[in-house]
Amino acid sequence: MGVIFLLCVDTLQLIMPKILESATDSLEGGTLTRKSLAVHAAALLLVSVGIAVFRFLFRYTLYGVSRSIEHSFRNRLYAHLQKLSANYFNTHKTGDIMAHVTNDMNNVTMATGQGVIFAVDCLLMPAASLVMMLQTGGFRLTAASFAPILILGVLVFSYMKIMQSTVQRQQEAFSNLTEAARENFSGIRVIKSFVQEKHRTEHFERINEANRRANLRFTRLMSLMFPSVMLISSLSFVIALWYGGMLVIEGSVSLGGFVAFNSYLGMLIWPITALGWVANIFKRGSVSLGRINALMDEKPEIADRPGAVPLVIPGAANSAGKTKAIEFRNLTFSYPGSSEPVLKDISFSVDHGKTLAIVGRTGSGKSTLVNLIPRILPAPEGTLFIYGRDINDISLSSLRSNVGCVPQDTFLFSDTIRNNIDFYRGFSAEETEKAAKTARLYDDIMEFPRKFDTVVGERGVTLSGGQKQRTAIARAIIGSPPILILDDCLSAVDTRTEEAILRELKSIMEQRTCIIVSHRVSAVKDADEIIVLDEGRIIERGTHESLIGQKGYYHDLYTRQLLADEIEEAE
């Protein structure tokens, strides 16, 4: 419909010079009267009103369609990003992804809006104007005036070839600028703590300078193109004025035909001149679309395989201590692109309703191990089983809805505490409050002016480290998931609070499976089994008492922490 309205505008524009031709010929022939002059003026007014109406309709329709495309495309892109595996975001810059969603998407929108409008004009108006020029000025005048326009087409085509790489570099520079700004704003507290404002400002200025150079390169290209286009198009008017005037003097062309010819020439020049702008829009859109399509073509490393089934949790009353909830069988795992395995020949199982603790040095593979259970990382075939079924055969939504996970890096959204705990899963206010009490967060929330409706800042910045961790724990335990994973999530709370949280968790997880990762012996000593990881291997396993008796890593860790507690009490 938008293109049809645009064709109506172009048709009415072609009528206007014919009205001027008729009026001019009547004036030259001495037949123009007040009445005929009024008729010509009324015709021009009606055509102008028609052009205005149809121009509004085509702009509103075509731009509306382009915004609808943008809306749909951006939703598709965001939904696709949500499906990509966590490792994708570890290997790609957030600023680059943001540039895809913002700048690249805007370029595609311009191509589908302004680009379509200009493209239709550039295709139809020159052809229609050329026909009318032949009709009003004849073949000789049309051919002479059109000659420079052929040179113009060659020039625009040459600029288009150069523009491809220029636009690509411009987009990459913008992505780097976005990433630098995002990183600096996210780390502003660290920057201020280490008095690095000057250094980070200089770093941003260097990236901004690279962005400026990329944009100036493009600006130089466009600044050369448009004057060149205008200069060559002006030659057409010079030829039309000189040669057309000669033909009028000779009587080969009427004065009205000469006036109409110049009007049609103007209509021809504008679309040809706009070729540069159209080339710019479509090149930008093409480059941006290529970047977005490359992202859309990314396949999730972790996805449901055909025939994936829901996870079935056996009845709690008959299964505690009898059914293997989680079982690792000779698992060896390497991160994509890495030849060195992070986990080597891991084998252990956790019975339903039991608690397993994992300890080990930093970098020993503890977080990698627990991230395999909710399939944040892909487990090799036949190495990890959940309730007797290969984890790769279980649907992701079913698996993850049955696993409550509190990661090391606590992340809160800029929302209310209630929404951060419930996380839009539809739990009742009573369930939310119960989870907060279990996580020893309820009393802190009650001290806030708006209680559970208190809005936390970006990433929960208005809360203390311990409050953020307890909010994340409440989010994980609400609804009492059958499997609970605590990945060193009690490091920011004091020992007394830690013991209280674990005591509360123990009471609600008696019939559920729990895995606790911690550096503190106090957090793991009551576990049914403890495994010690070192360089990706299990080097010790047993209960708290048996591990102390082994006089190995766990015993040394326990001794050091016991000594530290004694010193703290003495002080």
Q: What is the DSSP letter of 300?
A: P
User: How much is the average pLDDT of 188-193?
Assistant: 74
| pLDDT(200) > 60 | yes
- pLDDT score of 53: 93
- Residues of the chain with pLDDT > 90, as a percent, come to 4
| pLDDT(289) > 60 | yes
| pLDDT(321) > 60 | no
| Phi/psi at 452 (5° precision) | -70, -15
Structure tokens at 485: 């994973």
Domain boundary assignment for the chain = 2-296, 314-402+485-571, 410-480
Q: How far apart are CA 489 and CA 407, in angstroms?
A: 6
**Beta strands, E only, 267-361:** 324-333, 343-351, 355-360
Structure tokens at 452: 């559970």
- pLDDT score of 46: 92
- pLDDT score of 317: 45
| pLDDT(469) > 70 | yes
145 near 31, Cβ under 8 Å?
no
- Residues of the chain with pLDDT > 70, as a percent, come to 91
For residue 53, which of 114, 9, 16 has the smallest C-alpha distance? 9
Averaged pLDDT score across all residues of the chain: 82
- pLDDT score of 286: 84
Q: Are 314-402+485-571 and 410-480 the same fold in CATH?
A: yes
Angle at 211 between CA 207 and CA 217, to 5 degrees: 145
**Would you state the CATH architecture of domain 2-296?**
Up-down Bundle (1.20)
User: How much is the average pLDDT of 97-101?
Assistant: 80
109 near 68, Cβ under 8 Å?
no
Q: How far apart are CA 105 and CA 100, in angstroms?
A: 6
pLDDT digits (tens, 9 = 90+) for 114-147: 777 777 777 777 777 778 878 888 888 888 887 7
In the sheet with 389-390, reading across from the earlier edge strand, the strands are 343-351, 324-333, 384-386, 389-390
Per-residue HEC secondary structure of 218-269 comes to: HHHHHHHHHHHHHHHHHHHHHHHHHHHHHHHHHCCCCHHHHHHHHHHHHHHH
Poorest-pLDDT segment among 133-137, 176-180, 323-327, 563-567: 563-567
pLDDT digits (tens, 9 = 90+) for 326-346: 999 999 998 877 778 889 998
- pLDDT score of 49: 93
Q: How far apart are CA 532 and CA 408, in angstroms?
A: 18
Please tell me whether residue 411 adopts helix, strand or coil conformation: coil
Q: How far apart are CA 74 and CA 67, in angstroms?
A: 10
Q: How far apart are CA 264 and CA 260, in angstroms?
A: 6
Q: Could you tell me the fold of the domain covering 314-402+485-571?
A: Rossmann fold (3.40.50)
| pLDDT(495) > 80 | no
Length of the chain measured in residues: 571
pLDDT digits (tens, 9 = 90+) for 394-428: 888 888 888 888 887 778 888 888 888 888 888 88
- Residue located via tokens 């910045």: 461
| pLDDT(319) > 60 | no
Pick the CATH number of 410-480 from 3.40.109.10, 3.30.540.10, 2.40.50.220, 3.40.50.300: 3.40.50.300
